[in-house]
A = this chain, B = another copy of it.
């Protein structure tokens, strides 16, 4: 199956680095602004995959870890109902060496139908080229009051399954029970927790990750909580302990 290359013991940690387009370099420091640093970190930290936009992949990807090529994206400068269209062809993602394409869907946006349609086409193209299709599913737009509400997150997960995603990336609901329902709703689509903004403390963040795993998640896609950390490699080791080796929070923190 398409996601196998990203799995260790059926678990996975993806290093996400598409924030440069989504949020701007404000997320970066002098070190993390350099995609070369991230590429090295992905290898040294033994991540199961790295997530790049086309421009980053073309100039920095070295093939040391499997690549998820994010094929749509937007800046956060635009106001109004969110829309991110395809900016990298599936064929080009394949040439660059990607093993999966990533695509963000904003359910609830007035432009939802355009993204669902585009994902539908991209998923089919990706599968024909033996690449997995991963859906970032983020309910958003004026109609969405709380995008981590349990029923909203479960709906996001289900949307990904229904439209054919091999894996969905969704936000954590805040507790294990409600997230378990989201994981159930995703069916055979693997669930990746979205790392989100840097958590107040490492422990807070790791507790969320542990919760997601306990709820049945396959793993997480994480960026800022790793490369904004003072010791990204250590954070990578802690995460591997927690996610891949399935240790308790306490064991993991002992790293």
A142 at the interface (CB under 8 A from B): yes
A159 at the interface (CB under 8 A from B): yes
Q: Report if A56-B162 is in contact (Cβ < 8 Å); known contacts: A25-B181, A121-B89, A144-B77.
A: yes
Q: How far, in angstroms, from A83 to B117 measured CA to CA in the complex? A: 11
> Looking at chain A, what size class is its interface with the partner chain?
35 or more
A33 at the interface (CB under 8 A from B): yes
For A85, the chain B residues whose CB sits under 8 A away are: 113-114, 116-117
Contact in complex: B124, A53 (CB < 8 Å)? no
The residue in A18, A35, A53, A55 that gathers the most chain B C-beta atoms within 10 A of its C-beta is A55
A232 at the interface (CB under 8 A from B): no
Binds B, one of A40-48, A185-193, A222-230, A242-250: A185-193
Contact in complex: B56, A161 (CB < 8 Å)? yes
Specify the chain B residue showing the minimal Cβ separation from A83: B113
For A152, the chain B residues whose CB sits under 8 A away are: 77
A241 at the interface (CB under 8 A from B): no
CB contacts under 8 Å to B, within A86-100, are: 86-89, 92
Q: How far, in angstroms, from A189 to B25 measured CA to CA in the complex? A: 14
Question: 21 A–B contact pairs at CB < 8 A?
Answer: A21-B163, A25-B184, A28-B185, A54-B162, A54-B163, A55-B162, A55-B189, A59-B161, A60-B187, A75-B107, A75-B155, A75-B159, A77-B107, A77-B108, A78-B110, A78-B141, A78-B143, A80-B110, A86-B117, A89-B120, A89-B121
Chain A residues engaging chain B, CB cutoff 8 angstroms: 18, 20-21, 24-26, 28, 30, 33-35, 53-56, 58-60, 73-75, 77-80, 83-89, 92, 107-110, 112-114, 116-117, 119-121, 123-124, 139, 141-144, 151-152, 154-155, 157-165, 181, 184-185, 187-189
